[in-house]
Amino acid sequence: MLLLGAMPLVSGLGKPGSLLATAPEQLVYPAQTLICGAVLLYFWRRYEFGSVKKMLFTLAIAILVLAIWIAPQVVFHAEARRYGFNPTIFAGNYPLFFSVLMLRFLRLTIVVPLLEEIFWRGFLLRDFIDRDFEKVPFGTYSRFPFLAVTLLFALAHWGSKTWPPGPDVVPAIFAGALFNLVAYRTRSLGSCVVAHAATNLLLGIYILQTRQWGFW
Each residue of 90-131: pLDDT tens digit?
Answer: 888 889 899 989 999 999 999 999 999 999 999 999 999 999
What mean pLDDT is predicted for residues 8-22? 82
Distance from the Cα of residue 37 to its chain's centroid: 14
Domain boundaries, the chain: 1-46, 47-215
What mean pLDDT is predicted for residues 190-209? 97
**134 pLDDT exceeds 70?**
yes
**29 pLDDT exceeds 90?**
no
Q: What confidence tens digit (pLDDT) does each residue in 152-177 have? A: 999 998 876 667 778 899 999 999 99
Residue-level pLDDT at 162: 64
Q: What confidence tens digit (pLDDT) does each residue in 47-90 have? A: 999 999 999 999 999 999 999 999 999 999 999 999 888 888 88
**16 pLDDT exceeds 90?**
no
Name the pTM for this structure. Answer: 0.91
- Give CA separation, 85 vs 49, 69, 124, 128, in Å: 31, 18, 29, 35
Residue-level pLDDT at 137: 97
**18 pLDDT exceeds 90?**
no
| pLDDT band at residue 189 using 50, 70 and 90 as cut-offs | very high
Here the contacts of 176-181 (C-beta below 8 Å, separation 24 or greater) are: 176/120, 176/149, 176/150, 176/151, 176/152, 177/146, 177/150, 178/61, 178/64, 178/65, 179/61, 179/65, 179/117, 179/120, 179/121, 179/153, 180/121, 180/125, 180/146, 180/149, 180/150, 181/61
* CA 68/CA 171 separation, integer angstroms: 6
SS3 assignment, position 189: helix
Residue-level pLDDT at 184: 98
What mean pLDDT is predicted for residues 141-162? 90
What mean pLDDT is predicted for residues 132-147? 97
